[in-house]
A and B are shown apart, each in its own frame.
Chain A
Amino acid sequence: MTPKKVQRKEKEEPRIGVYVCHCGLNIGGVVDCARVAEFAAGLPGVILSKDNLYTCSEPGQELIKADIKEHRLNRVVVASCTPRLHEPTFRAACEDAGLNPYLFEMANIREHCSWVHLHDKEAATEKAKDLVRMAVARSKLLAAQEPLEVPVTRKALVIGGGVAGIQAALDLADSGYKVYLIEKDPSIGGRMAQIDKTFPTMDCSICILAPKMSEAGRHPNIELLTLSEIEGVEGYVGNFTVQVRKKARFVTDSCTACGDCVKVCPQVAPDEFNAGLSMRRAIYMSFAQAVPSTYQIDMDLCLNKHGIIACDKCFQACQRQCVDYSQQDQILTLDVGTIIVATGVDVYDPTPLTEFGYRKFPNVITSLEFERLINAGGPSGGNLIRPSDQKIPKTVAFLQCIGSRSKRSNIYCSNICCMNTIKDALLIKEHWPETKILVFYIDIRAFGKGFEDLFQRARREGVSFIRGVPGEIIEDPETNSLTLIGEDTLLSQLYRYEVDMAILSVGIEPRKDSPVIQRLLNLSCAADGFFLEAHPKLRPVDTPTGGIFLAGCAEGPKDIKDSVTQASAAASRANILMAQGKVIVEAITAVVDETLCQGCGMCVKVCPYSTIREDPETKIAQVTQASCAGCGTCVAECPFSAITQRHFTDAQIFAQIDAITEEAPETKAVAFCCNWCSYAGADFAGVSRMQYPTPIRIIRTMCSGRISTEFIEYAFRRGAAAVLVSGCHIGDCHYINANHQTEKRVNRVWKKMERLGLDKNRLQLAWISAAEGNLFARKMKEIDEIIQGVTPEEIEKTKQILVPKKKGKGEGTEPKE
């Protein structure tokens, strides 16, 4: 059922009830509520109009319910506080009385009126009248809506088998859901499996991880897919269809990991797990504790290419005949309801920082190489040795912030390196107490639980901390020892230290292939390349795309504890969706009128959620209701007015503009504010009692992307002195990037005004966040000055020359009356 049909059915005469709330003295102390109610009673369609002390109170709500029944009201308007506060309360009251909640409308005469115009009671009352007039006008055009209920598949997909992915998969599997755990490497375990010890407790990393890995491997609810990558994702919250390529392993599941095959393999290559510090064969297992505990063949290295068998030594060696050179990649299709992205991080490659000589001097190593060297299962059996002569070094230097906190590499702090170095220094002290350890740092950031204790312990045990990272490392070609040159910024002295070995404490950065995941799942990335959460404070594991959650370092650098915490949080968020078994999509989605759609594809381009598709044959746009977030950007973009946003229709917004400009439009400004940032910013100005001039009249839309150029021009044609378009700051849009479209559209109107010789200053664009009440108030003062400066001639000229563009089919976004 399209909303248009609904509207037609609802063509009964509007019977509107208006309730003007005093909110004690909050509104009543400034606005003459009785006068406003009296004014409302005279508006067409209004059956009854009342003012009362607290409309949101129990008796206030009962009054509305009784009136709906007694007076057969089919619209209710409450003029009180911000809809962001009590709209749900009143909607529920309407629903109780049998009125569709979408037939309720609010006028914000507290945050946007009484609180910000405390000292001008007359003007505030006039503004309140206008706001009620706007609400009444809009309410007449409201239509009953039914929110969409979408079923949720009770299966989850976890992408990435590091510690975060394992934890998320285990949590969900323990809750009783089927989980697919996908890992691109041959074994799960991730970065944590490579690390020797963890900070601050100095636990053996693999000892605490391995039990979790094997639990994930044998859990009846977890299907482990290693050597697997995502190739395609379709669908929306609760109903994703995922294509997975499970690469051939060339060794069957019957492998007992005896290792007989390895001994005979003639092909060797550097071992990735040991950071290239040891060799592996073409048939290998990444590490002893690998899950699944199965060998695999690296076909890039193996001599058997193109299905031609040049060497069958491993096949001959395997008693259980597990080697199968003919295995093929499999493409699996998985249906899941939720997705957790735990794709982890890459390690920064310090080669571009040539002053440190990495790749030139053998005794300059990275912190990851150090982890493998100090690990008993590593290439040196846990002996810290210099790569050049394999002797144990007497003096070791750690260099901090390599690849972090610098414009030359990554600008952010990698979060883990300080504590990792302190842990490493203590490990050296534990095994070789005589070793002299120097740590060169910018700042030591020991912010977590138990971190400072560990730092102090390192200092007590004689680790020297020197503030100032060396500017250069020089090697003695004879001994391969290193000289570090730099400045101690605490003593303001140049230093020169001779060391046997230098460890670059490298930062972490987003995975090289994270843009692929970003594209497939329609995620957003912050400037640093890590995936962006839906809200940094209050929705830290959600993504802007419903049903997809983030865990671990994919979202930003973090240590093991934080990764595990976040993984459990993500699992719990996914659990909520799957436990309910359904999601409710608010009835503010976009709907296409197929008779008007010309198949131009403009809407497809601007949709931030890629939820609009063109029918391959007819080219007609199709909106997937379940994944439409309701920003309305497509509606504003459609040149044929073929798309309607439910509950925020063009007609409703035009009616609001009409109401504002009905009386003395030359003294007023029309403001379009997005629900999440600038409308909330205006609310915040109200709550903070920031006083500003009264001419502004705010129209709320979900996103500034909903504001079409037509609305702006129409407001000017109606004689408004100024127009403000306002939304979230670029990069903070609640609808991913819909406000980029806002910017483009305002620019278009500016250009047109310029071309026509109009004062383009009268159209203002402002990015105002929910916390920037002061910015909002300042903008209002600016706009008041603009209004003062606009001459009647200018307004008259605008009305004359700012004519609407001739449109093709579907003309008539403007109100017919």
Chain B
Amino acid sequence: MKFWRLPLDAGSHSIPIGELHIIKDRCKGCGFCIEFCPNQVLKEAPEFNKKGYHPPLVTKQGECVNCNLCEIICPEFAIYSVLKEYKELTAEDIAGYSKK
């Protein structure tokens, strides 16, 4: 059955939300961050940077959970995330889990 109800203990849990910072002109377009983001937050930007590469673009703002994987694997130190806030769970989050 698909879940919909906000769990009774939802208040004691929260989701970390990361803020992504991309230093566009450092990017060499390897695509690691896009490929390996566990929440598929990034995609390739349509525009070019100074070097002529497509840097990453944040598509799903608010779905970054600040795991820092992109920061670790980026060979050019072109991306990093900082903890922005802890978000409270909502009924939409629960419906989203059931879809997974």
- A interface vs B, CB < 8 Å? 266-271, 274-279, 300-306, 308, 310-311, 346-347, 349, 359, 362, 369, 379-380, 385, 387, 390
Contact = CB atoms under 8 A, between A and B. Distances in A.
Interface string B54-69: 0000000000010111
A300 B100 contact: yes
Contact of A347 (B1, B8, B10, B38): B1
Contacts of B97: 269-270, 301
Interface of B: 1-10, 13, 15-16, 36, 38-39, 65, 67-69, 73, 89, 94, 97-98, 100
Contacts of B9: 278-279, 379
B10 A279 contact: yes
Secondary structure at the A interface, as helix, strand, loop or mixed, is loop
Nearest to A268: B13
B35 to A, nearest CB: 8
A308 B38 CA distance: 9
- Which of A277, A306, A379: most chain B CB closer than 10 A? A277
Contacts of B2: 349
B90 to A, nearest CB: 13
A624 to B, nearest CB: 40
A199 B43 CA distance: 56
B67 A310 contact: yes
A308 B72 CA distance: 11
19 contacts: A268-B15, A270-B98, A271-B7, A276-B1, A276-B4, A277-B7, A277-B8, A278-B7, A279-B7, A279-B13, A301-B100, A302-B38, A303-B65, A306-B36, A310-B36, A310-B38, A311-B69, A349-B2, A362-B5
A310 B4 contact: no
Contacts of B7: 270-271, 274, 276-279, 379
Contacts of B67: 266, 303, 310-311
B8 A304 contact: no
A266 B100 contact: no
A154 B4 CA distance: 47
Nearest to B97: A269
A270 B99 CA distance: 12
B99 to A, nearest CB: 11
Contacts of A276: 1, 3-5, 7, 94
Contacts of B68: 310
A305 B4 CA distance: 26
Contact of B5 (A269, A277, A304): A277
Contacts of A346: 1
Contacts of A277: 5, 7-8
Contacts of A304: 38
The 10 residue pairs across chains A and B that have the minimum distance between CB atoms = A276-B3, A310-B69, A303-B38, A270-B3, A310-B67, A269-B97, A379-B8, A308-B36, A349-B1, A278-B7
Contacts of B5: 276-277, 362, 369, 387
Contacts of A380: 8
A387 B68 CA distance: 36
A302 B39 CA distance: 10
A387 B6 CA distance: 9
Contacts of B16: 266
A269 B97 CA distance: 6
